[in-house]
Amino acid sequence: MNNLIVQIYTMQSVEEALAVAALGVDHLGVTPSRRGLPGEISNGLAADVCSALIGHAKSVALTVETDLDAIESMVSEVRPDILHLCAPAGALGPTSVKILQRRIPRTQIMQAIAVTGPESVDVARSYAPFVDYLILDSVDPNIAGIGAAGTIHDWAESAAIVAAVELPVILAGGLSPENVSAAIARVRPAGVDSLTHTNRHVTSGRFRKDLAKVQRFVKEARGATPSDG
């Protein structure tokens, strides 16, 4: 699947971002935050990363915030190609996202959908008119917002969302070099995302990207074949 989007979180330096981009990754995520999120960095460093990625890959900035002014301010400072909205489920509804879309017209929006049951299909449909991408993710009650859980959710529910909407859908949630091919075959997404399972731990609670794992993830994703069933 040569047109598959491969997205990797989370970059914590310019050098790391450029090294990951060189492996053929399409979207590189940063987490500009002060909330104790995994791999978070300052807005200033996130801006440096996004600037350095121009011409190499698309930059994606994640936020769990719900205040539109705060989100717009971060986007203005960091200047990512894509804004990744992953506030807790229901905390930033489609009406608010529609308003935000008008306020940041030069920035694409990726909306996180918590895949928690059949109702997630209707949730995905409600956001689809106002965003450029959906990202389907798992939830950890100990982590703010949707994502960074490192666990797989029900791929059948994700496949139902992919079939129900017309915009690009990126599959996240516990994906690794070992399971990404199977995930693509089952869900048929436009892209795949990895954070937890392409990391290497460096100190308690801290990590950096494991370039060998990223390289394997890219290889397995590019070589995957969607199922016809």
Q: Which tens digits make up the pLDDT trace of 141-150?
A: 766 677 666 6
Sorted by sequence, the CB contacts under 8 Å of residue 29 that are 6+ apart come out as 7, 8, 9, 10, 11, 59, 60, 61, 62, 84, 193, 195
Q: How many CB atoms lie within 10 A of CB 162?
A: 19
pLDDT per residue over 97-121, tens digit each? 999 999 999 999 999 999 888 999 9
Q: What is the mean pLDDT of the chain?
A: 92
What pLDDT does 205 receive? 74
Q: Strand runs (DSSP E) across the chain, as ranges?
A: 5-8, 27-30, 58-63, 82-85, 108-114, 133-137, 169-171, 191-194, 199-203, 206-209
Which of 219, 180, 182 lies closest to 196 in space, CA to CA? 180
What pLDDT does 144 receive? 65
pLDDT per residue over 118-142, tens digit each? 999 999 999 999 999 999 988 777 6
Q: How far is 40 from 62, CA to CA, in rounded Å?
A: 9
pLDDT per residue over 52-92, tens digit each? 999 999 999 999 999 999 999 999 999 999 999 999 888 89
Q: How far is 58 from 186, CA to CA, in rounded Å?
A: 26
Q: What are the structural domains, with CATH classification, of the chain?
A: 5-222 (3.20.20.70)
- Residue type at 26? D
pTM score, two decimals?
0.94
Q: How far is 25 from 23, CA to CA, in rounded Å?
A: 6
Query: Are 45 and 95 spatial neighbours (Cβ–Cβ below 8 Å)?
Result: no
Q: How far is 71 from 4, CA to CA, in rounded Å?
A: 28
Q: How many CB atoms lie within 10 A of CB 83?
A: 25
CB-count exposure of residue 106 (10 Å: 0-12, 13-18, 19+): exposed
